[in-house]
Amino acid sequence: MTLEDFQNKVGLKFENKSLLQQAFIHRSFINENPRSGLAHNERLEFLGDAVLELVVTEFLYAKYKDHNEGDLTAYRSALVNAITLGQLADELSFNDLMKLSKGEAKDVSRARSSILADAYEAVVGAIYLDQGYDIVRDFISKTLLVKTEDIIRQGLYKDAKSFVQEKSQDINGLTPAYRVIDEEGPDHDKRFRVGIYFGEDLIAEGNGKSKQEAETDAAKNALARKGWAGV
């Protein structure tokens, strides 16, 4: 897939195509190609994160008029977390468009999902700058917000850490413990890999940009591995 194909797929026509190109450039590519004359996507990601949160919050506030603040916050978290956005970016063929270092390009682990999630936010930032708020809201609606009903129906908004603790205590008589297995990257762009343990047994691992995010990812993976419904 090319950038032109992507624009056709999502129904966009960028005025400044370099913005869209930048949205798919990971820092590792710039570090490996310092003379490329290109810029990585982290500033666009920073902007897109804020735009995405506003659009999602506005949508949920208007759609679920009888739901309290706690419910809306849980719904929003389920929509904008790295897992959901990474899966969405994969569906949109972001892997075909990313510019990564040779090492990152070979990595197909869950760390790649986090990179794709960041790229989705960067694309949101690029669309906002190039096309404005109404157009970026339409893009988010067509790609992400259409998943809201399924997320609520499947209970994917629930607190995975609390849920896995309840199930583990009920079934195994054990309280899960979380341990950092690995962390990498500079201080401004840390990536954590965390394991969830039942006693001494490693049940699953999770990745995230913070320990909390990685623990939540690990909890969801443990629920899936154990076949415990609800999240």
Contact (Cβ atoms closer than 8 angstroms) between residue 16 and residue 130: yes
- Please, which contacts does 63-66 make with residues 24 or more away whose CB atoms are closer than 8 Å? 63/148
Residue 207 pairs in a beta bridge with 193
* Nearest in space to 139 (alpha carbons), one of 147, 150, 128, 154: 128
Mention every residue, 6+ apart, whose C-beta is less than 8 A from residue 65: none
Residues identified as active-site = 49, 121
d(CA 230, CA 227): 10
Counting Cβ atoms within 10 Å, is residue 82 exposed (0-12), middle (13-18) or buried (19+)? Answer: buried
Backbone torsions φ then ψ of 14, nearest 5 degrees = -70, 135
Contact (Cβ atoms closer than 8 angstroms) between residue 209 and residue 223: no
Residue 180 pairs in a beta bridge with 194
Helix H or strand E encompassing 207: strand 201-208
* Radius of gyration for the alpha carbons in the chain, expressed in angstroms and rounded: 19
